Amino acid sequence: MMNISMIRIIRIALGIFFLFSAYGERSWGIGILGSVLLIQGVLNVGCGFGAKSCGPANGSKYNTDFNPDKSFRRLKL
């Protein structure tokens, strides 16, 4: 069974709407936006084409042990 969600239906509907608007107005920008939304809706992809590309990163490659006393020097005013 296909995984059809509300956001997928909204993307397809907006993509079709923008494509018809772009054709009527003869606007390339609106046509590109409509094409991207339609492709996202049909292929069921989000903001990126990789798996879990829209969510936050689970692991961090940076050191998160921040100590301001070691990182900054005190100013004498």
Q: For the whole prediction, is pTM greater than 0.85? A: no
| Per-position b or e across 36-73, b if 16+ CB within 10 A of its CB | ebbebbeeebeeeeeeeeeeeeeeeeeeeeeeeeeeee
- The pLDDT tens digits for 6-47 are 888 898 999 999 999 998 989 899 999 999 999 988 888 776
Q: Would you state the structure tokens that stand for residue 45, as one six-digit string?
A: 């992809």
